[in-house]
Structure 1
């Protein structure tokens, strides 16, 4: 289902961009995805805003808040109780980077680091339920953990969220799908030697596009660095890029929408 008004606990429900230049990011993503941005006027929001596509909220954007933090697309997993999730993170060997914090009447967020070193956030919904549009061009459609330690990641995320790993052998590697109630909600892959030395375990976000070649070409013309211009996968052809402000993302032309 592409239009969403709620998310089951344990399912990725939101993504947002931490950018060193919010206005430049708004301009870039407006060009490649057709997004507009609605920025929050309240100074207490810290310059945060939301990307809108076809009248639906699809992602967030805001300035980098912590010194030394790189530009990054952040992944949020839905939870019924952020404080309970924080306790699970601690018990599973993870780190609480930011304790649960109420965000106006929108909901409660928290930031954690998993046992494999990956950072992620959780969202306990209030008025804001998460992305209102997913799995179609102009919206995020997949989140994938790229990890240096699949065993540690499996132990950690199954403990925290109750995810079930489903492993598939693919061309000399193992791909893991994370399942919630037998539904595939995210993926995991061991980091390949092609990544630069020192690249930490991280969550990657995929955005669906109608025309991969046109999107990659447009992104490159706007200053993005193209890491992969086209690669086949079971869901469709995808590419990987680094936006002009330094955040990595993937784009995919799905063979069919969900």
Structure 2
């Protein structure tokens, strides 16, 4: 099934590559510098845009603004007026199977060089580099283990690194769950000019987790870990910040009421806080991570 979805997604994106869009820049908070290896955007492919808007609006107050695009329905998602993500309607992509998922977007200096890095490492190009206006040049891939991701080369620089924690409901962290930690680490370290550092960790049953962190500019950009379940597909998991365990428990109780599912209940993480995995009405998984105001910036760990 995962291979079928990958094939369909590739065909859909290739078919759309002949259409030119002008999407807004990911942020106005830029100093003109590019921060390669940083996750700078997120796009949700959803087969239920209305339900998705209701779901995330009820939980976190996300606001959805529809854009007029030729041949596609696209929304910019904002939190308290700050754009944090986008949503595209799956039906506009003419997909024959459900491909609902979150697509995490990594900054790169050269989109065409990224294609070479990914293919040399055994990955696949689902969408060749294409300009999408003010947002920059985007390309879409799967790595050799099947995890989907995109790269973006912005025309005017990337969002600056914040000196404060993201607010609740904003993106806190990004983690690759993969069947081959070593091979995946080599790819993403090269792709983003990142340093890879090994960390130790344990599952709830006491077994060891193969875990690496990717760093640049003395900041931690992402984590890479072995699959929690060998039967699940490799994927990039984005994390949203939740302020406390009490708040997380409240959210988990409400999620079924607003059309979502709790896939993994709250559990402690070795790095601190508690994490749960949920899905909105489209079925796309996303993690909720508690991270209090008294804890350090997760990028500083």
Would the TM-score normalized by the shorter structure come out above 0.5? yes
One of 240, 247, 250 as aligned partner of 1:214: 250
* Cross-structure match for 1:251: 288
Q: Which has the higher helix share?
A: 2
Q: Does 1:63 align with 2:89?
A: yes
* Cross-structure match for 1:91: 120
* Cross-structure match for 2:60: 33
- Are the equivalent residues in 1 in contact too, given 2:201–2:211 (CA < 8 A)? yes
* Cross-structure match for 1:22: 49
TM-fit CA distance, 1:223: 2.6
Q: 1:207 to 1:184 in 2, by over 3 A?
A: same
Q: Does 1:181 align with 2:206?
A: no
Which runs of no fewer than 5 residues in structure 1 stay unpaired?
none
Q: Does 1:164 align with 2:195?
A: yes
Which segment drifts farther, 231-240 or 124-133? 124-133
Q: 1: distance between equivalents of 2:156 and 2:49? A: 24
* Matched residue count: 252
Which segment drifts farther, 120-129 or 176-185? 120-129
Which segment drifts farther, 156-165 or 96-105? 156-165
Q: 2: distance between equivalents of 1:236 and 1:170? A: 14
Q: 2: distance between equivalents of 1:67 and 1:257? A: 44
Which runs of no fewer than 5 residues in structure 2 stay unpaired?
1-27, 203-207
In the TM superposition, what whole-angstrom CA distance separates every residue of 1:86-113 from its partner, at most 9, and x where no partner exists? 1222223221110011112321110011
* Cross-structure match for 1:191: 227
- Are the equivalent residues in 2 in contact too, given 1:115–1:156 (CA < 8 A)? no
* Cross-structure match for 2:263: 227
- Are the equivalent residues in 2 in contact too, given 1:92–1:159 (CA < 8 A)? no
TM-fit CA distance, 1:148: 0.8
* Cross-structure match for 1:42: 69
Secondary structure in 2 aligned to 1:111?
A: strand
TM-fit CA distance, 1:138: 1.9
Coordinate RMSD, CA, aligned: 2.3
- Are the equivalent residues in 1 in contact too, given 2:48–2:281 (CA < 8 A)? no
Secondary structure in 2 aligned to 1:68?
A: coil
In the TM superposition, what whole-angstrom CA distance separates every residue of 1:168-187 from its partner, at most 9, and x where no partner exists? 11122232111123321100
Q: Which has the higher strand share?
A: 1
One of 225, 240, 252 as aligned partner of 2:277: 240
TM-fit CA distance, 1:23: 1.7
Q: 1: distance between equivalents of 2:104 and 2:119? A: 19
- Are the equivalent residues in 1 in contact too, given 2:43–2:85 (CA < 8 A)? yes
- Are the equivalent residues in 1 in contact too, given 2:215–2:222 (CA < 8 A)? yes
Q: 2: distance between equivalents of 1:130 and 1:24? A: 29
